[in-house]
Amino acid sequence: MVAGLDGCLDSLSESDALAWLETDLKGAVLSFQEHYEGQAALIMWIASGRTRVGMDLADEEYFWKTSPGRDAVRLPLGRCLWGGAEADVARILVSEEKDPDFDGEAYVGLHHPRIS
């Protein structure tokens, strides 16, 4: 489990955060996948993720909001980490309800089977 990603992203300028996501973090994830040959999960815990990770409904691209609020800069998570493969991303929902709210309390995270 990896924690502190939100602190890293929040402490960097927009251009540095993009570069860090695309090179350092993506490189670490790829190295993890290769080392464990896809047989282990890497969990990135972001305590404020529900309010800071979003998806643009028009093009279904995931983004990171650099701060809470409507005017925050959006960093393209899908492009930086998943090479634009957002179609493979699934939302993790935890609820006793038959059809839980996709964006509500049941939404606890994202799952991507493998990046390249």
Q: What is the pLDDT of residue 45?
A: 85
Residue 16, CA distances (Å) to 9, 22, 28, 90, 102 in order: 9, 10, 17, 28, 32
Q: What is the pLDDT of residue 34?
A: 93
Give tens-digit pLDDT for 6-41: 888 889 999 999 999 999 999 999 999 999 998 998
Q: What is the pLDDT of residue 101?
A: 84
Structural domain span for residue 34: 2-111
Q: What is the pLDDT of residue 55?
A: 87
- Residue 54, in any domain of the structure: yes
pTM: 0.82
- Residue 28, in any domain of the structure: yes
Residue 69, CA distances (Å) to 63, 94, 115 in order: 14, 25, 29
Q: In DSSP terms, which residues pair with 55 in a beta bridge? A: 62
- Residue 116, in any domain of the structure: no
Q: In DSSP terms, which residues pair with 92 in a beta bridge? A: 109
**Local structure of residue 15 (DSSP, 8 states):** H
- Residue 85, in any domain of the structure: yes
Query: CB-based contacts of 8: which residues, under 8 Å, 6+ apart?
Result: 17, 20
- Residue 77, in any domain of the structure: yes
The yes-or-no verdict on residue 84 having pLDDT over 90 is no
Cα(44)–Cα(31) distance, rounded to whole angstroms?
15
Give tens-digit pLDDT for 45-71: 887 777 888 888 888 899 998 877 777
How many domains would you assign to the chain?
1
Burial tier of 17 (Cβ tally within 10 Å: 0-12, 13-18, 19+): buried
The yes-or-no verdict on residue 42 having pLDDT over 80 is yes
Q: What is the pLDDT of residue 51?
A: 81
